[in-house]
Amino acid sequence: MTKPEKYLPYIISIVMPGINLLSSNPFERNIQLANFVSNWVLSAFILFCIWQLIEWILTKFNTSSWKSVIAILGSVPFICSFIALQYLFFPKLLFNTPNWLIFLKLFMASLLSMTIIYSFRAVKEKEQFKIENISLQAENTKAQYNLLIQQVNPHFLFNCLSSLRTMVRQNDPKSEEYVLKLSDVYRQILQNEAQIITLKEELAFLDAYIYLMKLRHDDALFYDVDVSDESLNDHLPIFSLQLLLENCIKHNIVSANKPLTIRLFQKDKSSITVSNNFQPKKMGVESTRLGIKNLEQRYALSGIKDGVLIEQNAEYYQTTLKLF
């Protein structure tokens, strides 16, 4: 219970009798100060008791659809008992107000107390619902994000295995080193459970991936990075740059006669661009755009619009990602 809610019964119990007593012009009737204070204190005590009684009844019968009726009916015997005790032991208090008027005022106070309690509970339940809804949305987003990551990992592995098959068929002596490096890189993938990482961490993983690719393509693959140190602590979806480099190698000719040059650079401090000279394979692998769609969805789940921008002409193909 927050502090305003905690002190509210005391505040209302004290203020309401004061308003009632002062509105009855007690000073015009020459009522003594001691008698006036006694009436105020007694009325405040009774109202506080009514509040606590109603709150207890509403809590006790929380699952009942008749709890409001039960709360009001429960306050009636208490009010009647108070009137009887006041009549027997304190006949001069409450300015000799008629019993029916005392009952009516206290009953109205009970209705007001119940209304206030209901209002606070409704606000609290609404806030709790919002919190639970936000938590549920976060869990759902996390599940969707993890599903997208699971799509990326097999995609990466299948492409690497395809390269390994080619190396084995050509009796490439670097096949064994390729397998060992692939296991190291894939171990990093499996151990990293983050959804978003810094540009610095992504570039470190990218270096390991490029080393793996250069084992396969030797001098047919060139890689250049030009990134500002100020952007290294900015964030982007995990494995996003690796996915883009993977697409560059998968869909373009990579040979000694037609080497592939991949450049990482920044057009501005809030983005990073992956660019390659455009030389698509004539019998190329048909693009499903699964990787790009995956990346766009991960940006969308992070609440970032237009996180992926693709530009292409006869000379180059480049993809720009937003940093955040």
- pLDDT in the model for residue 47: 78
Is 164 among the domain residues? no
Is 108 among the domain residues? yes
Residues 91-149: pLDDT tens digits?
A: 555 545 666 666 777 777 777 777 777 777 777 778 887 877 776 666 666 666 565 55
Question: What are the structure tokens assigned to 195, written together?
Answer: 């959804």
| 114 and 252 housed in the same domain | no
Domain range enclosing 206: 172-322
| 203 and 83 housed in the same domain | no
Name the region of 306 (left: φ>0; alpha: ψ -120 to 50; beta: rest): left
Mark which of 101, 132, 163 sits at the end of a domain: 132
Q: Point out the residues of the chain with pLDDT beneath 70.
A: 1-5, 16-36, 61-75, 78-79, 81-102, 135-156, 193, 283-289
Name the region of 185 (left: φ>0; alpha: ψ -120 to 50; beta: rest): alpha
Alpha-carbon distance 318 to 309, whole Å?
Answer: 8
Mark which of 81, 103, 132 sits at the end of a domain: 132
Question: What are the structure tokens assigned to 61, written together?
Answer: 């019968």
Is 122 among the domain residues? yes
Is 112 among the domain residues? yes
| 210 and 119 housed in the same domain | no
Which residues are CB-neighbours of 71 under 8 A, at least 6 positions away?
A: 54, 57, 58, 61, 110, 114
Which residues are CB-neighbours of 115 under 8 A, at least 6 positions away?
A: none
- Other Cβ atoms closer than 10 A to 63: 6
- pLDDT in the model for residue 24: 57
Here the CATH number for the domain that contains residue 294 is 3.30.565.10
Mark which of 109, 132, 155 sits at the end of a domain: 132
| 86 and 207 housed in the same domain | no
| Sign of the Cα pseudo-torsion (82, 84, 86, 89, in order) | negative
- pLDDT in the model for residue 203: 92
- Which residue from 281, 241, 231 is spatially nearest to 262, judged by alpha carbons? 241
Longest dimension (CA), the chain: 114
Number of domains in the chain: 2
Element (H, E) at 95: none
Is 84 among the domain residues? yes
Is 18 among the domain residues? yes
Is 155 among the domain residues? no
| Sign of the Cα pseudo-torsion (73, 74, 76, 77, in order) | positive
Which residue shows structure tokens 């769609």? 293
Alpha-carbon distance 178 to 211, whole Å?
Answer: 9
DSSP 222-258: EEEEE--GGGTT-EEETTHHHHHHHHHHHHB--SSSS
Is 66 among the domain residues? yes
Question: What are the structure tokens assigned to 274, written together?
Answer: 């992956």
| 192 and 312 housed in the same domain | yes
Alpha helices in the chain (DSSP H): 3-23, 33-60, 67-89, 99-169, 175-191, 199-217, 240-251, 290-301
